[in-house]
Amino acid sequence: MDNWEITLVETEARSKSNLHRINELAREHEAIHELAISVKEIAVNTQAIQRELTQQGAKIEALEKLPAQRWHTMVKALVTTCVSTLAGGVIGAVLALILK
């Protein structure tokens, strides 16, 4: 074989090898691209979940405060009723003494 034939055969072999490597890199690139898209979708979903959890946290906090608010309202009404009753009784007793 002549020198140029040897060079041509070596070049073709190298070309096939390089083509195989290029095809493998293309597949790897596509896999990396798909992975990047998946990570982006996960990030978007995670943000949506975080917003939902924040909203649910606010709702839970409001529900936890509700019994305390009811208790406060009930105690306030009870104290107001007792004070009004006592004040009415005292005023009634004073008026009874004055009108006798």
Ramachandran category for residue 25: left, alpha or beta (phi over 0 → left; psi -120 to 50 → alpha): alpha
- Widest distance between CA atoms in the chain: 145
pLDDT, tens digit, 9 for 90 and up, residues 36-62: 999 999 999 999 999 999 999 999 999
What is the per-residue pLDDT for 100?
A: 78
What is the per-residue pLDDT for 4?
A: 87
**Mean pLDDT, residues 13-35 taken together:** 95
